[in-house]
């Protein structure tokens, strides 16, 4: 009986199979890096934020000072809950986690630490992920409190920043209490558009009379061709001794457990 001759694998066929295998491995890696890893790292960053808040609960208030420009009512005594004149903390050290960002629109359990600086040691850190531009103001201070985070990888802290709607609350939590900002709008700029970090965004040399928060990230997804910029304006101040705002009380209490 004559057996059929086996076809010898050609070099092109072998090379094609290797490319297909490599492609599958690349897709699996991207799935891990962009999706599953972001979930894992995001959870780690939320846990770090909860731990930071627990430390604040058992620590005395910081050495921060009342914000300038007091109203006549403030001169008579301490700022009441919901006052528009917040305490401003002392400038933190480089890479120090000094605040938490809480944005209900980004998730019922969204709470991420904010560290000083926007270098890779902060933005690519599994325990932080959100960084504060050191040249900008601090939470509650007159001017522009600007922060940055990735939209993909390293926890993707600002992945859904484009979902913010006018009127959404943006809370910044520190050892002193909670600063509530309200989202007002978004714009898109080139990577060179550093005017968004000015005390009055996009207005060089202007003197600010408002308290602004600016959230920055890359745009579009998987690209750094542009920047997406979300702005909010200060609304109210809640001292820690008086408890958190009702809107985030459940999240704060869950994190304290």
Strands 211-219 and 65-66: unpaired
Residue from 159, 211, 218, 240 carrying the catalytic annotation: 218
Alpha-carbon gap, residue 216 to 151, rounded angstroms: 10
Residue from 112, 132, 150, 151 carrying the catalytic annotation: 150
Alpha-carbon gap, residue 244 to 250, rounded angstroms: 9
Do the beta carbons of residue 191 and residue 125 sit within 8 Å? no
240 is catalytic: no
227 is catalytic: yes
What's CA 20's distance to the chain center, in Å?
38
Catalytic positions are 150, 218, 227
């Amino acid at each position: 009986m004559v057996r059929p001759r086996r076809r010898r694998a050609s070099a092109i066929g072998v090379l094609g199979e290797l490319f297909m295998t490599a492609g599958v491995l690349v897709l699996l890696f991207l799935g891990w890096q962009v999706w599953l890893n972001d979930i894992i790292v995001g959870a780690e960053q939320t846990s770090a934020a909860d731990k930071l808040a627990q430390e604040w609960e058992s620590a005395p208030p910081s050495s921060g000072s009342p914000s300038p420009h007091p109203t006549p009512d403030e001169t008579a005594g301490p700022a009441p809950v919901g006052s528009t004149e917040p305490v401003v903390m002392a400038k933190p050290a480089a890479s120090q986690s000094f605040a938490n960002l809480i944005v209900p629109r980004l998730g019922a359990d969204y709470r991420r630490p904010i560290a000083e600086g926007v270098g890779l040691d902060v933005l690519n850190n599994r325990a932080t992920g959100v960084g504060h531009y050191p040249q900008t103001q601090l939470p509650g201070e007159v001017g522009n409190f600007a922060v940055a985070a990735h939209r993909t990888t390293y926890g993707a802290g600002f992945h859904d920043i484009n979902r913010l709607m006018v009127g959404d609350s943006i809370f910044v939590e520190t050892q002193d209490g909670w600063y509530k900002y309200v989202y007002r709008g978004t714009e898109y700029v080139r990577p060179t558009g550093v005017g968004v970090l000015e005390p009055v965004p996009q207005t060089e040399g202007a003197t600010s009379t408002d308290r602004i928060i600016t959230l920055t990230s890359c745009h579009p997804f998987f690209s750094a061709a542009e920047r997406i910029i979300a702005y909010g304006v200060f609304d109210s101040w809640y001292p820690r001794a008086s408890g958190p705002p009702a809107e985030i009380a459940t999240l704060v209490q869950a994190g304290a457990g």
